[in-house]
Structure 1
């Protein structure tokens, strides 16, 4: 049974963990013999480290598992070629080489797992437990058979995994983080800062921006021509048959319309309703006493709810009809304006009912609804009719007819558009089915019918690829003006911020220039509501008392650092921070040491990789 790829980091290394969890994943997912295909042609290994071979099937399984995991992370099925672009094959290979180097070393120095240790590890595995919760030999045998493993092969792998964990434990154990390192990081991480921010907007300028001249706009257009250039696009001719277009021609008799009205009568005849809350009491006397206090003005309804240890959301019934209220209907519907009725006996006990609003009955007669109902039925019929045309349209296209002839014969709309990923989602390009088909369309492809979400049938043809083309200045002028204004405003605000900084440094109050946002005792990983993250970053790069003009994308303002508070060295929070830094440092040091050790083992033993075998496996997995 192969392991999942690993860099053999200490935090993941537990006795038997890699081999065992690889098996458990397969068992739980019910993948059976997934990835255990034996690659033929005499290929049994992809290389060796010392005397230890790297099995071809082990590489195949590990690579497939990693591709599957990455596919889940991306939310789509990745090809091996896509995964290799992320270096996944090299990551798998490094893990297997490291594993083989450790196996070679454990064999060389004589580390092995005894029968008792092996049995204890296997018996602890949930995958091998029967219905009683204890280890069951038949379950064990069946699980191994499902994964094309013999007991001898599995147990051999388990012994090797246990031996590796013993060797690794000896390597990574005992590391400590240097005190100077952890103290320095804790002081840096625990430091807090208090600062004031004065955001500036166009209203803070002494005078509004002057209108740009055509020459200024032309200069912006020329300097940012890439911004005002349409991307490469596909010029696509499409033929579409829309249910909405066909719907008005579909015959629908009055009887069908009346039947639809009767079937949805509750939608057209909505009875009067009330917004109601129900407050239940244990006894009628308590309910009456509460109502008396309410009527006398001694308590509000909200106070009565609080006394019952309830919230208004607990008693809210929403909008209800007379039928929904049962015995309380008469009392509640007798109220013509918001108020409290009761007590009324209910299935839950005596209750007070507060009515908050009257929702008048809504009645739509058949004559009022019939036109809309007829249009709906016509659209349903049109969708059916269009769907029935799908095969016929494909047959017309398959017969060699061009898109224009097919559109004419099938009564389809014919149109042409320039499409790219940046094309706005409007009209037919609002449908994902159209965009997917357009994205996949290649030169020379024959048109095929595609059904969209609304029932429309469309067929596409790529006429040509339109290269990136600058938008004419006249057409882009509005966008150019926006770009000019954004740049001009940022410069004007930065100049105004510099003026304010000079004034404040001369004794003026920062608050006299606008509303100042004060942030107190902020940590490096804190968040600022309504301000860009770079404001916090800037504050931690300043000295106490400094004032900085900050010009960011969409933000210009002044930041003044008011106070730097050193990290607290006592208390639970300080101890927890120090411990977490020490743990991370210890882990990082151990990981580095283990990586260096396993690399050294491989170099000492000698690494041989058969690239031809690796390429052959990769080719079969495409």
Structure 2
């Protein structure tokens, strides 16, 4: 229970990072028999390769950022757990490591030329002229937290992995033609429908329900007319703020803290860097000669590479931010100096230093308040841990919540009626509840006679909650919901009558009447839909009717709910447009590609399972769960 405090107060490689993430999120898992819990700081071991908790956290955070961007909102830690992001990250890292270990054992690698060509060919990094865009590349690295060196190594392993994976590729000609043709004929067939619509609103008369009918309707739909379960709670909370002392911190304490954390306050030397990258050394030398003749660095970038000043500006860079080959040349330059051509895996670089920001170290006085607060908070954590231990001892000895709280000077807080969402009976949020969702989940899982115990409160602290009273979820009295229930009952009754009417009209059509005759009788028009694929989306037909349309035989009719959900349609086939592979070669080829990819994915999955057994995987599931 106090373990979190005791531990300290303190698929496959693909082209590009995003494809790498998507691939690893596929149907790939590590079985329970492969999860172990050995000692040490490493959380994943694949053969000889180990992954520390820090490395895992970096990949986890990167994946969290990517998912947050995809959903256009910052995902919370709880939402990440619901998505199973930790397991996704395990799968990603383990899959990548399996390939790295296998390619290493086979002696597969990639030279700098292949790496450069791979990076420059990525559509993500190309402009509208299909040329490598340095600005887009730098933007990608910044957004995903990579230095150039790190990304180069990812691509190096990626290429080696592709060499292995591509050896198992299935040629397009080997994809079973009969399978492709059958699937294409099924998927690419289109149908359109003729239909008439019977709306609920055409049922003008609505019966008045009796009380017994309303009670039956409410009993069949209790979720519409019920009050949620409410509870009254008592709880105590322990947070560092409860134990933060405002007393003076000695200068000796501040000095010790400062000296122990001096690296945090050291801002390394930085250089403002502008950079051009050329295909070969001759181009770089020619550009340098032009600069020597009086043309500016920015003018050369624009004329030779079509890059604006913003495109070539890398911003302030530390020495470690640069590729190894560039670190010395760049940091040997003075302000406004320009390097000789330097070769890296990305090409031939010319670099200009536009700004020099020397190394600085914040003084103790500059960070005095920060140091003071950190020391106070750390001391508060220590005190909180000690007080939490006292509480556990009190609870173990049979003390009540109030008695235990009194021993450490914490008062019990009681709530009025509250539901599982943290709302009061007026639907307003109850302020000050500890522990987030976990607190409410625990509070609504306990009986009234449960014993007090201490629980972790995220992000830091503890709470203990007991249930004083429970008001079970119950259907509201008829008198309180009669008006709403009557309206719902009548709407439901009209819908049922519209369905009966549509069924009766279908009988007439099956007896020989035409859809046009039915439309004339009902004073509505026959409507027609645009052709739609079996798996396409139609704004004119409800999904159930669209599926039914492809089950109908010619000249047959069916009945189903309309797209708006306020009536029914009687529908039949207007036209069948068979699949035509010759007329849509791209779609047919795409189907062949999909079938081949599916077969290939199955083979790769089996091979990956084999690698798991051959190389071996160990994952410290408990440690990962504790952190994430």
Give TM-score, length-normalised by structure 1: 0.50
Work out which of the residue numbers 590, 594, 611 in structure 1 matches 2:604. 594
Q: Determine whether 1:212 maps to 2:209.
A: yes
Q: Determine whether 1:192 maps to 2:222.
A: no
The equivalent residue for 2:487 is 482
Work out which of the residue numbers 172, 175, 182 in structure 1 matches 2:169. 172
Deviation at 1:116, TM superposition (A): 4.9
Q: Per the alignment, do residues 425 and 200 of structure 1 end up closer, same or farther by CA in structure 2, a change over 3 Å counting?
A: farther
Q: Determine whether 1:92 maps to 2:89.
A: yes
The equivalent residue for 2:531 is 522
Q: Per the alignment, do residues 100 and 213 of structure 1 end up closer, same or farther by CA in structure 2, a change over 3 Å counting?
A: same
The equivalent residue for 2:593 is 583
Q: Determine whether 1:609 maps to 2:618.
A: yes
Q: Is the 8 A contact 2:506 2:570 kept in 1?
A: no
**1:468-479 residue pairs with structure 2 within 5 A?**
468-479=473-484
Q: Determine whether 1:230 maps to 2:227.
A: yes
Cα distance in 1, alignment partners of residues 151 and 577 from structure 2: 56
The equivalent residue for 2:368 is none
Cα distance in 2, alignment partners of residues 506 and 19 from structure 1: 59
Q: Number of paired residues? A: 382
Who wins on radius of gyration, i.e. which is larger? Answer: 1
Secondary structure (helix, strand or coil) at the match of 1:171 reads coil
Q: Is the 8 A contact 2:557 2:570 kept in 1?
A: yes
Deviations 1:388-426 (A, max 9, x none): xxxxxxxxxxxx9999xxxxxxxxxxxx99778698999
Q: Per the alignment, do residues 73 and 544 of structure 1 end up closer, same or farther by CA in structure 2, a change over 3 Å counting?
A: same
Q: Is the 8 A contact 1:193 1:561 kept in 2?
A: no
Q: Is the 8 A contact 1:106 1:112 kept in 2?
A: yes
Q: Determine whether 1:538 maps to 2:543.
A: no
Q: Determine whether 1:557 maps to 2:561.
A: no
Cα distance in 1, alignment partners of residues 539 and 133 from structure 2: 55
Deviations 1:572-614 (A, max 9, x none): 4x223212222322333333322222222222x2423141xx5
Cα distance in 1, alignment partners of residues 146 and 49 from structure 2: 22
Q: Is the 8 A contact 1:47 1:54 kept in 2?
A: yes
Q: Per the alignment, do residues 512 and 526 of structure 1 end up closer, same or farther by CA in structure 2, a change over 3 Å counting?
A: farther
Deviation at 1:189, TM superposition (A): 2.6
Work out which of the residue numbers 56, 60, 77 in structure 2 matches 1:59. 56
Q: Is the 8 A contact 2:229 2:470 kept in 1?
A: yes
Q: Determine whether 1:511 maps to 2:519.
A: yes
**1:10-409 residue pairs with structure 2 within 5 A?**
13-14=14-15, 17-18=16-17, 43-44=41-42, 46-49=44-47, 51-54=48-51, 56-80=53-77, 82-114=79-111, 116-117=113-114, 159-172=156-169, 174-176=171-173, 177-202=175-200, 204=202, 208-233=205-230
Q: Is the 8 A contact 1:201 1:556 kept in 2?
A: yes
Q: Is the 8 A contact 2:423 2:430 kept in 1?
A: no
Q: Determine whether 1:8 maps to 2:12.
A: yes
Question: Tell me, which stretches of 5 or more residues in structure 2 are unaligned?
Answer: 1-10, 22-38, 126-130, 234-409, 444-466
Secondary structure (helix, strand or coil) at the match of 1:484 reads helix
Give TM-score, length-normalised by structure 2: 0.50
Q: Per the alignment, do residues 45 and 212 of structure 1 end up closer, same or farther by CA in structure 2, a change over 3 Å counting?
A: closer
Cα distance in 1, alignment partners of residues 202 and 432 from structure 2: 50
Deviations 1:110-130 (A, max 9, x none): 222345545766899999xxx
Q: Is the 8 A contact 2:190 2:532 kept in 1?
A: yes
Deviation at 1:74, TM superposition (A): 4.2
Deviation at 1:225, TM superposition (A): 3.0
Q: Per the alignment, do residues 234 and 507 of structure 1 end up closer, same or farther by CA in structure 2, a change over 3 Å counting?
A: same
**1:395-474 residue pairs with structure 2 within 5 A?**
466-474=471-479
Q: Per the alignment, do residues 438 and 542 of structure 1 end up closer, same or farther by CA in structure 2, a change over 3 Å counting?
A: farther
Q: Per the alignment, do residues 224 and 45 of structure 1 end up closer, same or farther by CA in structure 2, a change over 3 Å counting?
A: closer
Cα distance in 2, alignment partners of residues 60 and 189 from structure 1: 43
Deviation at 1:172, TM superposition (A): 2.6
Q: Is the 8 A contact 2:207 2:490 kept in 1?
A: no
Q: Is the 8 A contact 2:231 2:468 kept in 1?
A: yes
Cα distance in 1, alignment partners of residues 521 and 424 from structure 2: 42
Cα distance in 1, alignment partners of residues 555 and 82 from structure 2: 49
Q: Determine whether 1:497 maps to 2:502.
A: yes
Secondary structure (helix, strand or coil) at the match of 2:553 reads coil
Cα distance in 1, alignment partners of residues 532 and 188 from structure 2: 7
Q: Is the 8 A contact 1:54 1:100 kept in 2?
A: no
Q: Is the 8 A contact 2:581 2:587 kept in 1?
A: no
Q: Is the 8 A contact 1:97 1:602 kept in 2?
A: no
Deviation at 1:229, TM superposition (A): 0.6
Q: Is the 8 A contact 1:200 1:556 kept in 2?
A: yes
Q: Per the alignment, do residues 170 and 105 of structure 1 end up closer, same or farther by CA in structure 2, a change over 3 Å counting?
A: same
The equivalent residue for 1:275 is none
Cα distance in 2, alignment partners of residues 114 and 200 from structure 1: 69
Q: Is the 8 A contact 1:209 1:489 kept in 2?
A: yes
Secondary structure (helix, strand or coil) at the match of 1:565 reads strand
Deviations 1:183-209 (A, max 9, x none): 22322233222322222135655x833
Secondary structure (helix, strand or coil) at the match of 2:499 reads helix
Deviation at 1:533, TM superposition (A): 3.5
Secondary structure (helix, strand or coil) at the match of 2:580 reads coil
Cα distance in 1, alignment partners of residues 195 and 201 from structure 2: 17
Q: Per the alignment, do residues 21 and 536 of structure 1 end up closer, same or farther by CA in structure 2, a change over 3 Å counting?
A: closer
Deviation at 1:474, TM superposition (A): 0.9
